[in-house]
Amino acid sequence: MNNTYTRYLFASILLWMWAGVCMADVKQAELKTGMVAPDWMMQDINGNSYSLYAELEKGNRVVMVFWASWCKFCRELMPDIGLFKKSLADDTVKFFAMNIWEDGDPVAYFDSKNIQVPLILKADALAKRYAIDGTPGVVFVGLDKKIKYVRHNDEDTTAVMRRLQTLVLQQ
């Protein structure tokens, strides 16, 4: 091989490696209020299958809480979510606990707090699709498949619960 070809090949390999590193750092596009929520289909710990769009087509609005048992704020929020679900007179809002980035025992935590919300384990890929970058991530989806609320990192439990209550009672 001649030197020109070798340099070209070497430069091409470096460019390809650099592009791969840059693409690895590209973050999933942030989902915002008003955007159409990506559909998903997952099973809870009891083997029940759920789909976002199927729930919406049944007339249910959906709250997804992306959480981990090691997260202090999640441990504060999840019992409130469970109580809020129990307090609703109708069943037209479906709550899903999407467990992510876990290194503990989320099932034991749910059992200890008697939280009656479908628990979906290993939802990391879904969290990535929804651009969840911190716990807890909370997303509320309306019947029109549009995102009505995404929790901001500076919102505490009280603010999240107030916002969810307002959204649920609006309909």
Angle, vertex CA 143, rays to CA 43 and CA 56, nearest 5: 25
Q: Answer yes or no: is 142 within a domain.
A: yes
Which CATH number covers residue 124? 3.40.30.10
The secondary structure of 37-53 as a DSSP string is PPP-EEE-TTS-EEEHH
Q: Answer yes or no: is 4 within a domain.
A: no
pLDDT category at 170 given cuts 50, 70, 90 is: confident
Question: Any idea which of 12-21, 57-66, 67-76, 133-142 has the lowest mean pLDDT?
Answer: 12-21
Q: Answer yes or no: is 14 within a domain.
A: no
Length of the chain: 171
Interval 62-82 mean pLDDT: 97
Residues 73-103 have pLDDT tens digits of: 999 999 999 999 999 988 899 999 999 999 9
Q: Can you give the pLDDT at residue 171? A: 67
Residue type, position 144, single letter: D
Which is more confidently placed, 1 or 38?
Answer: 38
Residues 111-149 have pLDDT tens digits of: 999 999 999 999 999 999 999 999 999 999 999 999 999
Q: Answer yes or no: is 34 within a domain.
A: yes
Q: Answer yes or no: is 7 within a domain.
A: no
pLDDT category at 7 given cuts 50, 70, 90 is: low
Looking at every residue in the chain, the average pLDDT score rounds to 87
pLDDT at residue 14 above 80?
no
pLDDT category at 22 given cuts 50, 70, 90 is: very low
Q: What is the number of other CB atoms lying within 10 angstroms of the CB of residue 97? A: 26
The secondary structure of 76-134 as a DSSP string is HHHHHHHHHHHH-SSS-EEEEEEE-S--S-HHHHHHHHT--S-EE---HHHHHHTT--S
Q: Answer yes or no: is 22 within a domain.
A: no
- d(CA 77, CA 158) in angstroms, rounded, equals 9
- Which domain does 135 fall in, by range? 29-170
Q: Total structural domains in the chain?
A: 1
Q: Can you give the pLDDT at residue 27? A: 45
